[in-house]
Chains A and B, each alone.
Chain A
Amino acid sequence: MDLTPATALPKLLAAAWLLPLASFVVILFVGKRLGPHGKWAGYLAVGAIVSAFLLSCVAMFAVWLPNHELPVAHHGEHHDEGDQHDGAPADDDHQHGTAALLQDAPLTACADHDSPFQLAAFQENEAHADGHAVEEGHAANPPPTYYFGDWYSLGQFGALKLTIGYYIDALTVTMFCMVTLIASCVHIYALGYMHDELHDPYHDHEVIVHGHHLHRPGRFHRFFQYLSLFCFSMLGIVIAGNVAMVFVFWELVGICSYFLIGFYFERHSASTAANKAFIVNRVGDFGMLIGMMALWASLGTFAFGDKQDAKGQTVLTESGAIAEPGIFSQLRTAENGYRLVPPASMIAEETRNDPAIEAEDAAAGKAGHWLLLVAGVGIFCGCVGKSAQFPLHVWLPDAMEGPTPVSALVHSATMVAAGVYLVGRFYPAFCPEALLVIAIIGCITLSLAATIAITATDIKRVLAYSTVSQLGYMMLALGLGGWIAGLFHLITHAFFKSLLFMCSGSVIHAVHTNDMTEMGGLRKKMPITAYTMLIGCLAIIGAGVPLTPIGFSGYFSKDSIIEQAWSHAQTNGGVYWAFLAMAVIGASMTAFYMFRLWFMTFTGAPRDHHKYDHAHESPRVMTGPLVLLAIFAIAVAWPAFRLTGLLEQAQPVGTAAGGSGVLIEDLVVPAEHLSHAPNIKLRAGLAAFSSAFIGVFGAAVVYLWGYLNPREIKQTFKPIYTLLWNKWYFDQLYNFLFIQPALFIGRQIAAFDRGVIDWFLHACAWTVRLFSMVFDVVFDRTLVDGTVNTAANWTWDFGLLLRRFQTGSLRQYVLFIVMGTWFMCLAYFAAAFVLMS
């Protein structure tokens, strides 16, 4: 087999991508007939996704890694570095030589601000006194290695192309492995979890019809059908070669999510939640469309990469320019040192309506930046919707109406992370201002969701808000310039969050309720679940030994986010410290609510004995995946596995160096490697650890040891508690602000159609009728009818006369004919005679 990456990767990944589709199609048509009640459909889906996983692994370990040398460990394995070198610069980074030199150059912009966090440790570096140093020189990185191509075209109009194609780099391969691995686990888990659906009829205890529980046929195969379609769509997003294709699969995962949330469509809450999810996502897609339009109109392409030949080499024109440059190559050209500079077409597009602005902006060096901002924020809007960021976060908690495996796969690990993935993918096109928007949104989201999670009692909703909050972390990281940090957290989070959800599913499976107030003490009944969940909790709070490379996966990724926030705050100072503060406080809250959840569920005395007595450990088909995921949740981020190195390989063009704002002039996005500076690392690590510790300790005080009565706390903070309990009243607010007005406008418009337009028509018709009635009486009946009636009477009389000739006698008829002919001829001759004379 030919294992050169340019040929093998697209084929391998396409096969991995299409296998779930095949599974979907098969189950769609013959699912019910596969085994008893469609049982084999589940195995089929599992087989497809496991095969996809194996193919992804082949792509990763047999094709990608042997052909692409990982960068020498430095950036990613910061703990390692921190230990061994402890502040000494590592000059062995041959890829970013200059960047490495700059690594220890702290961002002296902070010197302008007198923040209490600015420690003397920085003073030795004051020589580098230029805040914009990061982006000067030629520090920006070239495009990563990628393979790009088109499979087929949806439409081509002159130079404009909408295609279905691939863009494969290290991130793509990594995401493939991650998605297929988690999906495999979830599929296997679901074989056990959805076992009830194999019964025919299935009893749905949450729906009451005519006073009885609903009985319906099982839908085991349908579930796996949707899961397969989802996997196909999700992998489509990952492999997509252009924004349009991302959008296509973006919507497809949305619809899969719709089907899966609405899987129990008999439940009104489930179908409403499904609608809500899809419509809210569409709001995000609306923004995404605007961003796409801005790009499309100004750049004329959606492609991520440049056109490549069969060997994976960029196709060049005769003059040496890139033949068909993608978005990133247009925005960050080599001539500009891979810095983000709006191309001429964008400047022209921005100012086409008003040349006066052009001159003004050009003078200020801002030309084209507004459009860039619109494009960036627009694309980000899509991510806001999909990743449930504020203000579109409202759908995700409701999405927990779906079966728990769905929550584990779709609504925590993969689909909702797609927003983060897209921000990462699209990163080179975000101008610093757009990144600021991303950071603000991420920051708001993470704190907002964390506060709500503190009061929630539904086990899955707590996890859902936790997901929202963690996604906010990722967005924050990306917005602050931490590309690797954000995507790193994306991958680690996928493992531990799917683990947490599956554990919660296991609990729900055992006690048949979602409400934590009815659980307690389950640790003894279901130890595997309890301890794997504990691993998940520890991973999510970032448990680890500070300043050492020992810890759960979240420890590495969350620390790097906080480091990046620290670095950013140092660079910009002022209010930008709020990002850091929120990140740290958020970490504390995360720890609190996660352990609140664990304590309430697994420790203490059972609150509902009936449920407790019926509880049991889940079957092996469910606990197996838990254990597997737990292992990954612990170890996936360990420096030995070089995950960050892999991500670093995919570092998008020009983004390693950060950048500075044009529209907001003093905004600086620091280069990511700057956050590995030992002084930042030290303090960030301690801050993260202490905040997590405080959180866990607080949870233990209230829920484990019971020193404080939660009910009394509630009473004391009643207004806040009510606010949080009602999720900051977002649902009510949106209902009041958008839904009711939309329905109102709809009714008004419908009424306008009937009441105004149709009224006008009826009025016209009525007028015409009135006129015609008058006309009828005056003109028709008297004048016209009179004439006509007279004529008719005459005709009648004449007919009576003629009737006499109708004798019925044949012989007389002959005579009439003869005489008639004769008279006609006579008349003719007479007429001819008269005319002649």
Chain B
Amino acid sequence: MNLSDPIVYLSLMVFLPALGALALAFFPRGNEEAIRYTTLAVTILTFMLSLGLFFDARGVEFKSGVAEMQDMFSAPWIPSFGIQFLMGLDGISFPLVVLTTFLSILAFIASWSITKHIKAFCILYLLLETGMIGVFMALDFFLFYVLWEVMLLPMYFLIGVWGGPRKEYAAIKFFLYTLVGSVLMLIAILMLYFNSDLTLLNDEQLARAGVFKVEARAQETVAEREARVKAAAQEWRDSEDALAMRFKEITAETDPAKKRQLHTFNILALQHIGQHEDSPFNREAWLGKSIQWWAFVLLFIGFAIKVPSVPLHTWLPDAHVEAPTPISMILAGVLLKMGGYGILRICYPICPAAGYDLAYIVCLVGVVSMVWGAFAALAQNDFKRMVAYSSVSHMGYVVLGLGVWSLGMWSATTPGSFTYNADYWKMGVNGAMFQMIAHGISSAGMFFCVGVLYDRVHHRNLNEFGGIMARMPVYSGFAIVIFFAGLGLPGLCGFIGEVFVVLSVWKYSQLLAVISAAVVILTAAYILWAIQRVYLGAEYKGPHGEALTPMLPREFAIAVPLTVFAIILGVYPQALLNYMQPSVDQQVQQLADWTERFDASREALKKSLGEEEEQVALAVPASLPTTPAALKTSIESSARPAQ
């Protein structure tokens, strides 16, 4: 095996847990320790593989400071539909992949106390890991969807079999909710697929979409790169590749009436198509809205369920309360991130016009989630439910940060000049990404802390705790640090993401900014109140007090890495931003450039119509249509009575 080939390395990373699961299937029963240690070894090995990407030892490396996709590879999968086994990493997905492999180890260590059907648990757990890593790496929409579903099923069983008293209810609820999201996503995928046209893209865009390979070189001029891309494109077109042949065939057709489209599932290509000037997604679909508008709405609902955003969040508290500790850790630490990742990777770049149009709705959803989750957390008496609602609140920051669409930057040097400067927007999106990672650490840690107590006293009633600090001082120390990380205390990871997001929002909407800032009060209230009720106080008030023994070394091994990372990310966020920011910035910059073109065309259109009839400009409806074409029709229709 040649590990220096991304296709081998990354595929191995994705499928190693699945292979491990396969191997476990042949383990004789009753050999529980061996099964556990094997699973642990597989998760550790996967983590090592993901760590290996930090170094150049094998030739497959994730370089910091690079914005483009790295280590991208593709292999034909279902060629008749243009479906590829296309994967790659960039600053958006890489941190999430590392987070996943990292949390998988910790969560597995946390599942040591599970005794029921160990073998099945381990197999499902490893399958889940494959799904999670795969989702973050997949760049083919179809592959993305398949892996999305792959991850769903093990989760269902993990909750439904190893859960608490109402596990069936919670598992079904989780499953149905997520499935609804999946179905909506599938519809959107097909909508986009059947309207996509790969032939719209130029050589550079094709190269960036990974249709053909162009090596990245560090120092080269634009012209050199252009020449290289052109040569590669030519070589690709002349090759015997099935896609290339179809591409050639379609582009050779000169008669526009007969011209066909070359559909694609390639997410990167879809991004370029979505941002194309004559994007086919701008066609009107239904109720006067464009295809991309509907696709955006469907995708956003699908991802918002996963995030989860209010009002689609009620599966989360139930799922968390019933799920065993390690599964809660994974659920909060990784699964929720897929929603945010999807919005960032898919919704916005593919459907920019819709995103522009609906940015306020997205932000509003985020803010409502923040407030809603915080208030609901305040009212909970179940420790785990409270933490679950805190996740809703914290993930609201993510949605808010992703939704920020502020482009206005009034230069300080030249008064009144309006430039398209996406700095605040970059800050918001980076903040959202950072918040995802930070929340991955803090929420996993919080659920772990709840789990440690639950393992001992088998209840979670906040009012029946107290005095844990005196009984389990080391554990309480870790727990308090982790809870403060969730609270957004400076110096811990939660702060950076929150502050980036909140600071960037004002530029977009002052009202939302004020509301989102107010959430810091509620967050402090529910977390501190919970800490007081659980850890502080003189005596433990609940049952099984004698079981409150100090932390085990195994639990220590989970708490320490989480705490350390919470502190490192809080103190030195650049450690993460170095890897993440270039990609995020690049994407935001692309969208900003797109917005500039879009606004310019809209302005021009308004002007040309406005010159004919002055009232027309005044009659432009308050909510601007998303596409120039739609705008034109709406302006004309509104202008008609005036004439």
A716 to chain B, nearest CB (A): 41
Q: Are B317 and A348 in contact (CB under 8 A)?
A: no
Main secondary structure of the interface of A (DSSP, over half): helix
Q: State whether B430 touches A155 (Cβ < 8 A).
A: yes
State the Cβ distance, A157 to closest chain B Cβ, in Å.
4
Whether A742 and B525, one on each chain, are in contact in the complex, defined by CB atoms closer than 8 angstroms, is yes
> A266-287 interface mask toward B, CB cutoff 8 Å, 1 = contact, 0 = none?
1110011011001100110110
Q: Which residue of A lies closest to B573 (CB)?
A: A154
Contact of B415 among A159, A262, A344, A754 (CB under 8 A): A344
Complex Cα gap A207–B470 (Å): 13
Beyond A271-B536, A321-B413, is A749–B491 a contact (Cβ under 8 Å)? no
**Closest A residue by C-beta to B519:** A286
Q: Judge whether B424 and A275 touch: CB under 8 Å.
A: no
Nearest CB of chain A from residue B309's CB, rounded to whole Å: 12
In the complex, B109 has a CB within 8 A of chain A: no
Q: Are A255 and B532 in contact (CB under 8 A)?
A: no
Is B558 engaged at the interface, CB distance under 8 Å to the other chain?
no
Chain B, range 415-430, C-beta contacts under 8 Å to A: 415-416, 418, 421-424, 426-427, 430
Q: Collect the chain A residues with CB atoms within 8 Å of residue B528's CB.
A: 258, 274-275, 278-279
Q: A146-196: which have CB < 8 Å to B?
A: 152-155, 157-160, 162
Residues in B with CB closer than 8 Å to A152 are: 572, 574
Say how far B492's CB is from chain A's closest CB, in angstroms: 10
Tell me whether A749 and B538 are in contact in the complex, defined as CB-CB below 8 angstroms, given that A154-B496, A296-B506, A352-B408 are known contacts. no
B521/A286 in contact, CB under 8 A: yes
Determine if B585 is an interface residue (Cβ-Cβ < 8 Å).
yes
B618 is an interface residue with CB less than 8 A from chain A: no
Q: A293-B503, A299-B412 are in contact. Are A279 and B490 (CB under 8 A)?
A: no
Cα-based distance from A278 to B499 in the complex (angstroms) = 18
B521 touches A282 (CB 8 A): yes
Q: Are B415 and A266 in contact (CB under 8 A)?
A: no
- Write out the residue numbers on chain B whose beta carbons fall within 8 Å of the beta carbon of A761: 173, 314
**Residues 509-538 of B at the A interface (beta carbon under 8 Å):** 513-514, 517-518, 520-522, 524-525, 528-529, 532, 535-538
The prevalent SS among residues of B at the interface is helix
- Does B469 reach chain A (CB closer than 8 Å)? yes
Residues of B within 8 A of A (CB-CB), count: 70
> Is A309 interfacial (CB 8 A cutoff)?
no
Whether B415 and A294, one on each chain, are in contact in the complex, defined by CB atoms closer than 8 angstroms, is no
A674 to B415 CA separation, bound complex (whole angstroms): 36
Shortest distance between the CB of B301 and any CB in chain A (Å): 15
**Inter-subunit contact A296/B411 (CB<8 Å):** no
Closest to A208 in B: B538
Chain A residues lying within 8 Å of B383, measured Cβ to Cβ, are none
Q: How far is the CB of A41 from chain B (nearest CB, A)?
A: 15
CB pair A251–B427 under 8 Å, yes or no, is no
Contact B423 A330 (CB under 8 A): no
Chain A residues contacting B484 (CB-CB under 8 Å) are 255
Contacts of A255 in B (CB 8 A): 484, 489
B416:A344 contact, CB within 8 angstroms: yes
| Set of chain B residues within 8 Å of A282, measured between Cβ atoms | 520-521, 524-525
| Residue among B372, B422, B535 with max Cβ neighbours from chain A (10 Å) | B372
Q: Let me know if B521 and A271 touch, CB within 8 A.
A: no
| Stretch in A92-100, A242-250, A793-801 with 4+ CB within 8 Å of B | A242-250
When distances are taken between beta carbons in the complex, the residues of chain B under 8 Å from A348 are: 410, 415-416, 418
| Closest partner residue, chain A, to B538 (CB atom) | A266
A297 touches B506 (CB 8 A): yes
Contact partner of A244 among B499, B535, B577, CB < 8 A?
B499
Q: Does B452 contact A (CB under 8 A)?
A: no
> Which of B408, B414, B418, B521 lies at the interface centre, i.e. has the most chain A CB atoms within 10 A of its CB?
B521
Question: CB within 8 A of A252: which of B491, B517, B535, B539?
Answer: B491
Judged by a CB distance under 8 angstroms, whether B507 is at the interface is: yes
Contact A158 B521, beta carbon cutoff 8 Å = no
Let me know if B490 and A290 touch, CB within 8 A.
no
**Stretch from B122-130, B160-168, B374-382, B606-614 forming part of the interface with A:** B374-382
B514 touches A290 (CB 8 A): yes
Contact of B415 with A753 in the complex, beta carbons under 8 Å: no
* Residue B62 CB within 8 A of the other chain: no
For B20, the chain A residues whose CB sits under 8 A away are none
Distance from A260 Cβ to chain B, minimum over Cβ atoms (Å): 14
Distance from B378 Cβ to chain A, minimum over Cβ atoms (Å): 4
CA distance A344 to B415 in the complex (A): 5
Report A-chain residues with C-beta under 8 Å of the C-beta of B505: 293
- B156: chain A residues at CB < 8 Å are none
| B409:A746 contact, CB within 8 angstroms | no
Q: Is A349 interfacial (CB 8 A cutoff)?
A: yes
B424 touches A154 (CB 8 A): no
* A266 contact from B495, B503, B537, B585, Cβ within 8 A: B537
Contact indicator A289/B502 (Cβ below 8 Å): yes
Q: How far apart are the CA atoms of A162 and B423 in the complex, in Å?
A: 12
CB–CB A278/B524 < 8 A = yes
Set of chain B residues within 8 Å of A321, measured between Cβ atoms = 413
Is B311 part of the contact surface with A, judged by Cβ < 8 Å? Answer: yes
Shortest Cβ gap from B402 to chain A (Å): 15
- Contacts known (A159-B423, A743-B378); A214 close to B513, Cβ less than 8 A: no
CA–CA, A350 and B500, complex, Å: 21
- Contact between chains at A757 and B506 (CB < 8 Å): no
**CB-contacts of A285-316 with B (<8 A):** 285-286, 289-290, 292-294, 296-297, 299-300
Q: What is the distance, in angstroms, from A355's C-beta to the closest C-beta of chain B? A: 11
Q: List 12 A-B contacts (CB under 8 A).
A: A155-B500, A158-B426, A255-B489, A266-B536, A266-B538, A294-B506, A352-B410, A743-B378, A743-B379, A750-B375, A750-B379, A757-B314
Residues of A within 8 A of B (CB): 152-155, 157-160, 162, 207, 209-210, 214, 216, 244, 247-249, 251-252, 255, 258, 262, 265-268, 271-272, 274-275, 278-279, 282-283, 285-286, 289-290, 292-294, 296-297, 299-300, 321, 325, 330, 343-345, 347-349, 352, 742-743, 745-747, 749-750, 753-754, 757-758, 761, 765
- Other than the given A265-B535, A746-B377, 10 more pairs (CB < 8 A) read A154-B573, A279-B524, A286-B521, A296-B503, A343-B412, A344-B414, A746-B378, A747-B379, A753-B313, A754-B314
Q: Give 6 nearest A-B pairs by CB, closest first.
A: A344-B415, A348-B410, A158-B423, A746-B379, A746-B378, A293-B506
